[in-house]
Chain A
Amino acid sequence: MTRLADAIIVGGGIHGCSTALHMCLAGMKPVLIEKDYAGRHASGVNAGGVRQLARHVAEIPLSIRSMEIWARIEQLVDDDCSFESHGQVLVAENAAELENCRARVAELNALGFTHEELIDAAELRRLVPAVAETCPGGVVSRRDGAANPAQTTTAFRRKAAALGATVREGIAASNVRQHDGLWQVDVGADTYAAPVLVNAAGAWAGRIAASLGEPVPVETVAPMLMITSRVQHFIDPVVILRGRKLSFKQFANGTVLIGGGHLAVPDQDRNETMLDWRSLAVSARTVFELFPVMRAAMITRAWAGIEARTRDDLPVLGPSARHKGLYHQFGFSMHGFQLGPAAGAVMTELIVNGGTQTRIGDLGIDRFHSSQPQR
Chain B
Amino acid sequence: MKTHRINFTLNGEKVSIEVEPSDVLLDTLRGRLGIKSPKVGCDRGDCGTCTVLMNGRTIRSCLALAVEADGADLVTLEGANTRKWTQKLQVKFHEKNSFQCGFCAPGVILSATELLEKNSKPTIHDIKEAVAGNLCRCTGYEPIIEAIAETAKGK
Say whether A associates with B.
no
Chain B residues at the A interface, C-beta cutoff of 8 Å: none
